[in-house]
Amino acid sequence: MPVVALFFLPLLIGSCRGIDHNETDQRVFPVISINYQHVQMPFEISLWILLASILKLGFHLVPHVSAVVPESCVLIVVGLLVGGLIRVLGEDPPVLDSQLFFLCLLPPIILDAGYFLPIRPFMENVGTILTFAVLGTLWSAFFMGVALYGACQLEGAELAGVDLLSCLLFGSIVSAVDPVAVLAVFQEIHINELLHILVFGESLLNDAVTVVLYHLFEEFVHRGEVTAGDVFLGVVCFFVVSVGGVLVGCVYGFLAAFTSRFTAHTRVIEPLFVFLYSYMAYLSAEVFHLSGIMALIACGVVMRPYVEANISHKSYTTIKYFLKMWSSVSETLIFIFLGVSTVAGPHAWNWTFVSLTLALCLLSRVLGVVGLTFIINKYRMVKLSGKDQFIVAYGGLRGAIAFSLAFLLSSESCAMKDLFLTAVITVIFFTVFVQGMTIRPLVDLLAVKKKKQSKFSVNEEIHTQFLEHLLTGIEDVCGHYGHHHWRDKISRFNKRYMMRFLIGGERSQEPQLISFYKQMELEQTMKMLENNSTTSLSSAATQL
């Protein structure tokens, strides 16, 4: 052994420096060498993901903290600490790049939300959701833009150089209700299904409206002068971008469903089609400057019922947990990088502008929700109470989407970029920390109805279908074509044409009750596996 050690010792030393042999320098073959640049990017990406995962794990291991502080707040604080540490070490902290955010981090979160979107409550409240998302966002953007422009003209504000178009552009940015922040808080407080779908659905569609408004006002700022024709084309562009994104998503959703019909002999690649078609829908919409968010939501909603009827149980499990894992990691990274970027980003402070932005942001949200609810309640059978309106208004959290849009601003076309970015960060921190930390005790204080944990049984499903058909018949007899009538028409069209074309085998002709029975059995099995239950699976027939 000593002889072997003596033999390898020169080789190890020679990997660091040359050794003289026969009075000439010879380079000995390196046994160990360091080349960090070769793996720098994937290594650092893996390191950030590992840090995010460990933080998420550690947060839930401390119940005293997780019961009081939302996870998003802790992650932002960690990001601030990491960014500050990097600053102390004399390095430049990494910034939440907008390309990274919109092309890599946001899509899995939107896909997870769209794919697992509860279709029935969403469609039952789609009018209310669209009203809040479209009219509410337009109101907030214009109200804040005009009010800030008026305030900037005051002598003491020292902001006379800010024009109206820049204020409207900023108003569209700060009106972005972030689904990432909303999801992070609402999933922890277990709010009832109606409020959850209203706030979450609004935040999803609000992002699409906000991004369209952002690009519209950005184009107006570049032009400098806006004519009546430009305004008309802007309105047309607004609808084209939104509807076009939905159409692109539907096309890819049907393609994914049709492809899954032929995967019976290649089950291993079934989940891949779901992810690829969804991401292609997002990218294709972005290529044509359509709404990628709307495309991703539409793709997930359209493909799910047909894909799940075609794929195996193992593929269903893979899709579910991979999407949840992917979106969870992205969400964690977003909040960490938001804190890091706050330390790194350029800032400009103006007490008047920042304070007014925060006050107007809260005021516009309250006025928008109360005013629109007053109109909506005239047409809703289940009215939104004062408590419901408060939760909807209080749940308008801002997050990384507003930050990324502000960061995307060009310093050449928008001279106030640094001030806008500082104001947006202030609003984000206030909504996430103050509103996010106080919404749980407020929900308990107001005794807001919580989410039911029980699932439908077969017996309940039979009675639900019976009542739906009864109400449809009553509407037909009365000549009133309400949502029950149109839902029945769509259901018949789906069974007669779409299911036969997009679902393979006997599943396309399967009665709805049998399909529900199988789905419930699958959900029971998944739930028992998640809970590590060792008891035998109980049949759904026991719930009759």
Q: Buried b / exposed e across 348-369, counting CB within 10 Å, b at 16+?
A: eebeebbebbbebbbebbeebb
Distance in angstroms (rounded) separating the CA atoms of residues 98 and 341:
11
- Could you tell me if residue 43 is inside a domain? no
Q: What is the mean pLDDT of the chain?
A: 79
Q: Give the count of beta carbons closer than 10 Å to the beta carbon of residue 9.
A: 10
Domain containing 257 equals 98-445
In this model, does residue 265 exceed pLDDT 80?
yes
* Structure tokens, 60: 């839930």
449-452-457 Cα angle (round to 5): 145
**Looking at residue 277, what is its pLDDT?**
95
Does 436 share its domain with 336? yes
- In degrees and rounded to multiples of 5, residue 407 shows phi and psi of -70, -30
Identify whether residues 195 and 281 lie together within a single domain: yes
Has residue 122 got a pLDDT over 80?
yes
Give pLDDT, residue 533.
47
Tokens for 525?
């099995």
Q: What is the pLDDT of residue 370?
A: 92
Long-range contacts (CB closer than 8 Å, 24 or more residues apart) made by 428-432: 428/338, 428/398, 428/399, 428/402, 428/403, 429/76, 430/358, 431/181, 431/396, 431/397, 431/398, 432/70, 432/72, 432/73, 432/76, 432/181, 432/397, 432/398, 432/399
Mean pLDDT value across residues 25-47:
80
193-223 vs 228-260: helix axis angle to the nearest 10? Answer: 130
In a domain, 113, yes or no: yes
Q: What is the DSSP letter of 409?
A: S
**Token pair listed for 141:** 């953007």
Residue 66, in any domain of the structure = no
CATH number at residue 174: 1.20.1530.20
Torsion angle, alpha carbons of 470, 473, 477, 481, to 10: 110
Record the pTM: 0.81
Q: What integer is the mean pLDDT of 446-468?
A: 68
| Segment holding 124, helix H or strand E | helix 119-124
Is the backbone of residue 366 left (phi > 0), alpha (psi -120 to 50) or beta?
alpha
Cα-to-chain-centroid distance, residue 301: 14
How far apart CA 339 and CA 337 sit, in angstroms, is 5
Residue 307 resides in a domain:
yes
| DSSP summary character for residue 450 | B
What is the tens place of the pLDDT at every residue in 366-382?
999 999 999 999 888 88
DSSP symbol at 134: I
Q: Is 319 a domain residue?
A: yes
Both structure tokens of 433: 């920390």
Task: Determine, yes or no, domain membership for 80.
Answer: no
Angle (CA) 301-403-277 rounded to 5° is: 25
User: Is position 21 within any domain?
Assistant: no
Location of structure tokens 């899995």: 108
54 HSE (CA, 13 A, CB side): 7
Same domain, 190 and 103: yes
Angle between helices 136-152 and 351-376 (to 10 degrees): 150
Percent over 90 (pLDDT), the chain = 12
Same domain, yes or no: 426 and 510: no
Q: Which amino acid is at 427?
A: V
On whether both 415 and 511 belong to a single domain, the answer is no
The total of structural domains in the chain comes to 2
Residue whose structure tokens are 């907008």:
98
Q: Do residues 283 and 427 both lie within one domain? A: yes
Helices assigned H by DSSP within 345-416:
351-376, 386-394, 400-408
pLDDT of residue 302: 92
Is the pLDDT higher at 521 or at 258? Answer: 258
Greatest mean pLDDT among 53-62, 173-182, 372-381, 485-494 lies in 372-381
Note whether 405 and 210 are within 8 A (CB): yes
Query: What's the token pair of residue 54?
Result: 């460990």
First to last CA, the chain: 76
Instruction: Name the amino acid, one letter, at 94.
Output: P
- Token duo for residue 330: 């992205």
**Is pLDDT of 537 > 50?**
no
Specify whether 437 is located in the same domain as 492.
Answer: no
Task: Indicate if 198 and 319 belong to the same structural domain.
Answer: yes
- Whole-number pLDDT of residue 8: 39
Query: Does the pLDDT value for residue 215 go beyond 50?
Result: yes
Residue 383: other Cβ atoms inside 10 A: 10
Q: Decide if 46 is inside a domain.
A: no
Q: Are 75 and 96 in contact (CB under 8 A)?
A: no
Dihedral sign for Cα atoms in the order 61, 62, 64, 69: negative
Q: Are 179 and 400 in contact (CB under 8 A)?
A: no
Q: What pLDDT is stored for residue 461 in this prediction?
A: 65
Phi, psi of 476 (to 5 degrees): -65, -40
Average pLDDT rounded to a whole number, residues 277-287? 94
Confidence of residue 120 (pLDDT cuts 50, 70, 90): confident
pLDDT of residue 443: 80
User: 485: which 2 tokens?
Assistant: 């009538």
* pLDDT tier, 515 (very low <50, low <70, confident <90, very high otherwise): low
> How many other β-carbons are positioned within 10 Å of the β-carbon of residue 527?
11
Q: Which residue has the higher pLDDT, 274 or 500?
A: 274
Q: What is the pLDDT of residue 165?
A: 85
180 and 296 together in one domain: yes
Q: Please indicate, yes or no, whether residues 308 and 434 belong to a single structural domain of this protein.
A: yes
Do 404 and 496 share a domain, yes or no? no
543 confidence band (pLDDT: 50, 70, 90):
very low
Same domain, 326 and 189: yes
Report residue 405: phi and psi, to 5°.
Answer: -65, -40
Q: Exposed, middle or buried by CB within 10 Å (0-12, 13-18, 19+), for 337?
A: buried
Q: Which of 128-142, 237-251, 476-490 has the lowest mean pLDDT?
A: 476-490
